[in-house]
């Protein structure tokens, strides 16, 4: 029985990955976190070096080097910092989080603050952190 389920899962995966309509509707859905991060970096800040983004996200070079490794799984807060540094809109922000198996939750005050900041284009980490601090989060 498990073997049959695994076969069906593999068929579903193949179908999703080869479905051209799905890929047109969800062009970034099959990208890894690192691929999507670099895609957003090149679209949002063309010509800028990695250091521009990781400094803006308050991440050091050593940590960013780890992030580039596809085997490394960054923390949710690191991805949120990168999303803010990249000045992503909410859909892009959620796609970046999802690419690393994270999500924003509407029943979490911290996440509500992040959603508010993204919707209102408050991308400065000092300002975001001050809001979070003032709310006692």
For residue 17, the number of C-alpha atoms closer than 13 Å in the C-beta half-sphere is: 8
Entry field: residues in the chain: 137
The average pLDDT across 56-68 equals: 93
Distance CA 111, CA 80 (A): 10
Q: What percent of the chain has pLDDT over 70?
A: 87
Provide the pLDDT for residue 15.
67
Integer CA distances (angstroms), 116 to 26, 54, 63, in order: 24, 22, 27
At 122-137, the pLDDT tens digits run 999 999 999 999 998 8
Provide the pLDDT for residue 4.
74
pLDDT, averaged across the chain: 88
121 or 14: which leads in pLDDT: 121
pTM: 0.80
**Tokens representing residue 106 in the block:** 């509407």
Distance CA 62, CA 82 (A): 15
The average pLDDT across 60-72 equals: 91
For residue 133, the number of C-alpha atoms closer than 13 Å in the C-beta half-sphere is: 6
Q: Can you state the angle between helices 90-99 and 109-119, rounded to 10 degrees?
A: 130
């Amino acid at each position: 029985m498990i073997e049959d389920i695994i076969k069906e899962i593999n068929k579903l995966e193949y179908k999703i990955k080869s479905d051209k309509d799905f890929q047109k509707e969800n062009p970034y859905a099959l990208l890894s976190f690192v691929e999507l991060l670099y895609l957003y970096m090149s679209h949002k800040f063309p010509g800028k070096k990695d250091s521009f983004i990781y400094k803006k996200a308050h991440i050091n070079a050593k940590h960013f080097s780890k992030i580039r490794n596809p085997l490394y799984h960054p923390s949710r807060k690191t991805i949120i910092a990168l999303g803010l540094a990249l000045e992503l809109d909410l859909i892009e922000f959620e796609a970046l989080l999802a690419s690393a198996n994270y999500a924003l939750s509407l029943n979490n005050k911290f996440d509500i603050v992040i959603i508010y900041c993204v919707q209102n284009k408050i991308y400065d980490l000092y300002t975001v952190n001050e809001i979070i601090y003032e709310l006692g989060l």
